Amino acid sequence: MDFPDYRESRDVRLDWDTVQRQTITLLTPSGFRVDSMLPGRVDLIGPGMNSSRQSAIVGCSKIRVSSDNRSLTLEAELGAARRLGTFARLFPLLLTGGLLAILSIVFWFVLPNGIDVVKILLIVLAINVATWLVLGPVIARSIENRTRRALDALLTNLVALASP
């Protein structure tokens, strides 16, 4: 994890064994698996995100929790959230383009005044594209923000659970 998308530290003294155990306990039910456990560091790999209805924490493709006996640091790559955000931006546009192509061909050849119907179809689908050009980035940003809030909550919970 060279350049994490998320990095947050809290200055606090904690029992590392408790932090490590709680990290695994909190994240494995969401589908995370332990990649490596070193003294003062645990790396986990996420299951991926297929829907915005999933737990927001699965928007992380990798999570690293580390401690240097003075602070607890949480780093994460938001790869799954980025992929779902890209899908939210591109899929509606590609679907609209495909519909435009198929329906234009069908209406052009089947209807007697097909050219007029194709013009109306083009206007309707242009409005749809304009709408998704606004909604796609908003949805992508909200997915990433939800994941960041989930990481903030994870860090807060780890500090609370592992404090003496």
pLDDT in tens, 27-39: 999 999 999 999 9
Whether 121 is covered by a domain: the verdict is yes
Q: How far is residue 117's CA from residue 75's CA, in Å, rounded to a whole number?
A: 54
Q: Are residues 99 and 132 in the same domain?
A: yes
Domain total of the chain = 2
CATH number of the domain within which 52 lies: 3.30.310
Q: pLDDT category, 3, cuts 50, 70, 90?
A: low
Q: Are residues 17 and 75 in the same domain?
A: yes
Q: How many CA atoms lie within 13 A of 54 on its CB side?
A: 19
**Parent domain of 67:** 6-80+149-162
Q: pLDDT category, 2, cuts 50, 70, 90?
A: low
DSSP letters along 76-132, please? EE-HHHHHHHHHHHHHHHHHHHHHHHHHHHHHHHHSTTHHHHHHHHHHHHHHHHHHH
Give the DSSP H or E segment for 139: helix 114-162
40 backbone φψ class: left, alpha, beta (φ>0; ψ -120 to 50): left
Q: Are residues 69 and 94 in the same domain?
A: no
Q: Are residues 10 and 49 in the same domain?
A: yes
Q: Are residues 15 and 55 in the same domain?
A: yes
